Structure 1
Amino acid sequence: MDKLTHSVSPYHILFFILLLLGGNTFASSEKREACADHQADRQAFFGDLHVHTRYSLDASTQGTRTTPAQAYLFARGQRIGIQPWDEEGEPGRTLQLRRPLDFAMVSDHAELIGEVNMCTNPQVAGYRSWQCRVYRAWPRGAFYLFNYMASMRASHLGMCGDEGERCLAAALAPWEEMQQASEDYYDRSADCSFTTFTGYEWTASEPGSGGNLHRNVVFRNAQVPTLPASYIDTPGETLLWDSLEKECNDAASGCEALVIPHNSNLSAGYMFSGLQADGTPIDADYAARRRRMEPLAEIMQHKGASECFFAPGITRDELCAFEQLALDNIAGFNNLPQPDTGFLRETWLEGIALQQELDINPFQFGVIGSTDTHLGAPGAVAEDDFPGHGGAGVPALKSVPPGLTDKLEYNPGGLAVLWAEENTRDALFAAMQRREAYGTSGPRIVTRLFAGWELDADLCAAPDQASRAYAAGVPMGGELGAAPEGAVLRLLVSAQRDSGTPDHPGMPLQKLQVIKGWIDDEGTLHQRVVDVAGDPEARGAVDTTTCETSGEGHAQLCAVWEDPAFNAQQSAFYYSRVVENPACRWSQRQCVAAGVDCTNKQTIGRGYEGCCAAEHRPVIQERAWTSPIWYQPASADNTSSAKSRAASAATRLL
């Protein structure tokens, strides 16, 4: 009994009892049939929480006609038409998933859904305004005009009235349509085959730097505010939280919301700056609110990966170069990315340093991936069938431009994965809140991470692996308190390859890694990458002239890894990264299909110049990233400012 008391917290004892009883670890907030498939040890559900349809300004001005209902039908496996459209309303292209998703959320921009409805619906007041005439006659010009006013100036245009009242009124119908679609396509039967969430995107940019501050808002159930809180109404993240707390979380109406920042790689350092809106340092109250309201961040989507920074000669983790954009901001200003411009690994390091000062970590968030599709096509992540995602990418309003289907720097995006007992809103939302979530760059890799003091070395071969790991440790997204005297930290890390389909099997896995970040006794921040399973020396290969792959890999990988450098007095975090064998990137696949030979200029057709550009990355290694697990000693050293120590100390990659 003494051993159990020292190695397992009361939370784990309660959780283990719930597992034995078959009980839920989430509260039910709405009526529905019980799921036939309920697993106490939890299961991985794949989805997309970042989807734009016809009601997003950038999507609509590029010809997207997909409705919220059609987006959910697509996620469930139905084929949809995408732009360009002919005079009879027939699509020039179609798109269909090879496998349905488990969950999805339409997340249209809150700022301009009223304006889009006003300018596309003759029955709405304001349709004949000069602004709407510009919208219809010059869509791309309207995109820049409307978007600049909304996301940079936090302002409606003149046709909305002095207080924006006409555009707010025009936003009611689209918002109700989004809610209705979410209700219509949520499977409330015992099959629990598909879950929808109602939500939206709050779209802000830092005016001086062009830094991206965008966030997606996810509601737990059908109880939502009358209108979404936009950046125009709430010009600052704390004002957004205020609105969500007043109108939702604290309103005793059954409404509950959380917020997911995205594209921090393009935030110019402002997404996780360590400062409040007025320029003062983060305080404990702000840190607590941020941790409560923003439990997750988007690590991957079609505008790049936000895991970590890479530059030759500066950092040694070459896998950080994966889908790294050449700029640090969403406005396109010519600023190169740096380690402190919004990458999550560096932010997690800053978080454990701030915790020593504030006694709370404002950046203790987990991760998901998503697409940010502007075609209304959730989960369209296939490298071999990528039509571009629109938005900031290549538009196809009137015709498909020749050549590559999107800008070279963009990619098909990622997926969100949630570990939950069942596929319901309550179970999935609870998984997001506790951060038992991970992101992939597109493949449906299944991966788990646990940490604890008494994880058995034989867990990889154990048939009851998950239940034993839950009983003796914490899963991804969890926290470990002070270590028992003489304890050794162990991590259970496992992964299974994407099973794929008969016609398109998934890629073998190359290796499984643990990434550790910690702060030493001198206040210096460190990070270390460790290969814990797989054989990185026996790599698979890809022939970029044909995109044929060869070599061996792994169907599954597992390790119980013991940290040899664990120090019970040092704050740390751990997350895992699963890496597939190399394959051709979407752009190289299209270059090969077009017969491009960079040694022969005559083969480089119009629009395919990027195939031979120096910045072209013909090969990728798809991957998955787990949410971290954090270790915090019993007492932190508060004798000096963690902020100043972090600013003066070099981050070391061992």
Structure 2
Amino acid sequence: MKNLIILFCAAFFLSGWASAQDIGSPDMKNIKGLYPGKTYSPYAKRNFPNNVYWGETHLHTGVSLDAGLFGNVLGHEDAYRLCKGEEITSSTGLSVKLGRPLDWVVITDHSDLMGLAVGIQEGAPNVVAEPLGKKWHEAFERGGADAGEAAFELIQNFAQGTLPKAMLNDYSPGSKVYTSLWEDIIRTADKYNEPGKFTALIGYEWTSVPKGFNLHRNVILRDDKTRAGQVVPMVTLPPLGSQDPLDLYEWLEMYEEKTGGQALALSHNGNLSNGWMFPVDKTYAGGVVDKNYVEQRAKWEPLYEVTQIKGDGETHPFLSPDDEFADYETWDVGNLDISELKKTEMLAGEYAREALKNGLMLESKFGTNPYKFGMVGATDSHTSLSTAEEDNFFGKSVSVEPSKHRVEHPFIKSELGEISGDMIVASGYQGVWATENTREAIFDAMERKETYATTGPRIPVRFFGGWDFVDDDLRSRSPAFVGYDKGVPMGGDLRKSKGSEAPNFMVYALRDPVGANLDRIQIIKGWEDANGKLHERVYDVAVSDGRKINKEGRCKKAVGNTVDLESASWTNTIGASELMAVWRDPDFNPNEKAFYYARVIEIPTPRWLVYDKVRMGAHIPEGAELIGQERAYTSPIWYNPSE
């Protein structure tokens, strides 16, 4: 009966969060302090973001060259229908539906040769007119190994710049085919965009991958087809394109000046960039990290994709040896095509936490922090299916949609190494705190970095920084009011101190209503000392099950494990349905720049391949990870003594 009551209370709190994130009535005597100048009703006269909306910024359809070549026959309409909660049929003929609809999505097909794969699939006249195009179309029709070989041959021709010129011209910006396809993409986005109900943001992926170093950026527009139709996406192939992000920033500038609209870019997760995603000295193209570079990157890239199908990008155990949760879904074999193996000195240029620290250093050098980014999660699915749930995971590409043998299919394999199929990650989603579910509100929340990443679960998380939060601010059950009143939300800069010796932070999280309980909440701090040396530290600030946090700010006792591998299940008999804390930095130095972000960790649950074994009898490779602790990463809050 006790557990039933707890679950009822948690469900009530969470259901309120879906439509109005603060519930409950504060003590009458505290109303004046909690709602200065406001009405009695806690839901009236709000001027802060009170809803969390779930979506992702990285989804591919069959329009993308690689997705289409490997068998994706679904387009934008299919992707939108699934995100909105409809049941559709996957490219392999499987019925698929999300456990819960998404609130918004950005479909980001690769801009280079967009639509060529569809032309090959359908045998478009301009494709089969070329001998190679006819060969590839016929191979796709036969399917199986022939289609795979054709796809590999086409990608080789693309990489080596040996595609037939006529075919290249037909699927590049300025061509009739490309222009028509872009018009169809933006028209379809407007068709499925329903302000207040579902948001379809217009975007694309700029696919810079020199020498296999993954330096992709996703571009997101705030606008509808009226403005988006005045341009076509930027590509990387010469002579029209470039692989230098500085040229992408020029495109973004051009877009805003030409259309009067707004745009931003976000960096793809960097763990396949072999150290080039977050440079501190030289860029991959022989350029330098100078004042112009840091200013342009800070202006145009306010977000970073910290987790997705191709591994987690928060930190690495080599970079964070004192963090026992650092080795999570780690990909550190090599670059995107494993043409170059990973070296430990590359890792510092690939992970979010290290980049946040290096941003402090670059700010001291140039006056601007280029890595002052918010956190987002996405799938990077190439199936048109935005599935990040472990028990409903349709993989990276059509070749690894659910089947008995998909786990045996490597993500990439070369003479130097392999990223095995069991390493694919069922991740992630993005929570956005916004005033309403519209393009404008979602985009604006991203731009101010009031957004956070999860590895899939829909964990509601709030994180505020200030100087005078107290425990009673949490007791009211409506802490967002005081959070905005006394401090700043995730993504913000701490206001000037009013005399307090150290800043404090208010954080609270609720478990996903259909997910696992919470193990703990941590706050990760990074700072630069007076000698220019960079540091980091992890603090446990709230833990479940009565465990203790020691004087060093850590709880070394694990939460336990209730996973049943035979049934692919777990029980919420450990952990907590909600955790919260007000925490003051015990090691604060007012002269040192710093950042803080929260990490919320669930109790252990089964990974997707356990469901494959139970449902389909799949063989699990020896040594494969079967259990994980999913998590959420908030955007940081920064402190700068000079501001």
Using structure 1 for the length normalisation, give the TM-score: 0.81
**Maintained 8 Å contact 2:517/2:577:** yes
Give, in angstroms, the shift of residue 114 of structure 1: 4.1
Determine whether 1:386 maps to 2:393: yes
CA distance in 2, matches of 1:76, 1:259: 24
| Conserved 8 A contact 1:114-1:169 | no
Whether 1:590 and 2:612 are equivalent positions in the alignment is yes
Asked whether the 8 Å contact 1:44–1:418 carries over to 2, the reply is yes
Matches within 5 A, 1:393-432: 394-395=399-400, 402-404=405-407, 407-432=421-446
2:507 equivalent to 1:507? no
2:217 matched to which residue of 1? 215
Tell me which residue corresponds to 2:570.
549
Determine the C-alpha separation between the residues in 2 that align with 1:288 and 1:565. Answer: 30
Structure 1 residue identity aligned to 2:221: F
1:566 corresponds in structure 2 to 588
2:372 maps to which residue? 364
Pairing partner for 2:501 from 477, 483, 487 = 487
Match of 2:273 in 1: 267
Q: CA deviation at 1:17?
A: 12
Deviation at 1:40, TM superposition (A): 3.2
Report Cα offsets for 1:238-279 as digits up to 9, x if no partner: 111111211x1122x232111011121111111111234553
User: Structure 1 residue aligned with 2:87, among 79, 87, 96?
Assistant: 79
Alpha-carbon offset, residue 472 of structure 1: 1.3
- Secondary structure of the structure 2 residue equivalent to 1:451: strand
Task: Choose which of 245, 260, 263 in structure 2 pairs with 1:254.
Answer: 260
Shift of 1:310: 1.5
Q: CA RMSD in A?
A: 2.8
Paired with 2:244 and 2:131, the residues of 1 have a C-alpha distance of 30
Is 1:116 aligned with 2:123?
no
Residue 390 (structure 1) shift: 0.5
Residue 422 of structure 1 deviates from its aligned partner by 0.6
Distance 1:617 1:465, change over 3 A: same
Looking at structure 1, the residues matched to 102 and 320 of structure 2 have their Cα atoms a distance apart, in angstroms, of 39
Deviations 1:516-560 (A, max 9, x none): 011112222111111100236343432334434243211111100
Map 1:512-551 → 2, pairs under 5 A: 512-535=521-544, 537=557, 538-550=559-571, 551=573
Report the equivalent of 1:349.
Answer: 357
2: distance between equivalents of 1:166 and 1:421? 36
Query: Which residue of 1 is the match for residue 206 of structure 2?
Result: 202
Q: Give the structure-2-normalised TM-score.
A: 0.82
Cα distance change of structure 1 residues 383 and 132 upon mapping to structure 2, 3 Å threshold: same
Instruction: Identify which of 58, 62, 67 aligns with 2:70.
Output: 62
Is 1:284 matched up with 2:291? yes
The alignment partner of 1:429 has SS state of helix
Q: Which amino acid in 2 is paired with 1:259?
A: A
What is the CA distance between 1:98 and its match in structure 2?
1.4
CA offset at residue 196 of structure 1?
A: 0.6
Give the aligned length. 567
Q: Post-superposition shift, 1:400?
A: 5.1
SS, match of residue 58 in structure 2: strand
The 1:292/1:18 distance shift into structure 2, 3 A limit, reads farther
Q: Percent identity?
A: 31
Q: Distance in 1 between matches of 2:321 and 2:511?
A: 28
Structure 2 gap segments, 5+ residues each: 1-33, 140-145, 410-420, 545-554
8 A contact 1:118–1:167 mirrored in 2: no
**CA deviation profile, 1:436-481 (whole Å, cap 9, x unmatched):** 1101000000001111112233221124411211121111111125
Deviation at 1:18, TM superposition (A): 13
Q: 2:511 aligns with which of 497, 513, 518?
A: 497
Q: Quick one: structure 1 residues 195 and 18, their matched pair in 2 at CA, closer, same or farther if it must change by over 3 Å?
A: farther
The CA deviation at 1:20 is 5.9
Q: Which residue identity does 1:531 align to in structure 2? A: D
Given the superposition, is the C-alpha separation of residues 342 and 314 from structure 1 closer, same or farther in structure 2, using an over 3 Å criterion? closer
Query: Any idea what SS the aligned residue of 1:384 has?
Result: helix
Please point out which of 209, 232, 253 is paired with 1:227: 232
Cα distance 1:321–1:486, how it changes in 2: closer, same or farther (>3 A)? same
**Structure-2 separation of matches of 1:157 and 1:167:** 17
- The separation in 2 between residues aligned to 1:546 and 1:386, in whole angstroms, is 17
Range with greater deviation from structure 2 (221-230 or 71-80) = 221-230
Query: Does structure 1 conserve the Cα–Cα contact (< 8 Å) formed by 2:63 and 2:118?
Result: yes
> In the aligned structure 2, how far is the partner of 1:422 from the partner of 1:64?
33
Q: Secondary structure at the match of 1:346?
A: helix
1:409-488 alignment, distance < 5 Å: 409-480=423-494, 483-488=497-502
Distance 1:334 1:176 in 2: 38
CA-CA distance at 1:590 after TM superposition: 2.0
Q: Cα gap change, 1:475/1:148 in structure 2, threshold over 3 Å: closer, same or farther? A: farther
2:206 alignment partner AA? W
1:632-643 matches, cutoff 5 A: 632-634=640-642
What's the CA shift string for 1:45-93, capped at 9, x where partnerless? 0002111111011211222111101111110111111132xxxxxx2x1
SS at match of 1:271: coil
Tell which deviates more after alignment, 337-346 or 93-102: 337-346
**Counterpart of 1:480 in 2: which secondary structure?**
coil
Give 1:328 deviation, angstroms: 3.5
1:91-137 Cα shifts (integer Å, max 9, x gaps): 2x111011110001211110011423443445553432123224321
CA contact under 8 A between 2:169 and 2:175: conserved in structure 1? no
Against the structure 1 CA distance between its residues 221 and 560, is the aligned structure 2 distance closer, same or farther, given a 3 Å change threshold?
same
8 Å Cα contact 2:522/2:599 also seen in 1? yes
Contact 2:403 2:616 (8 Å CA) reproduced = no
State the SS of the aligned residue for 2:112.
helix
| Matches of 1:166 and 1:567, distance apart in 2 | 52
Report how far residue 428 of structure 1 moved. 0.6
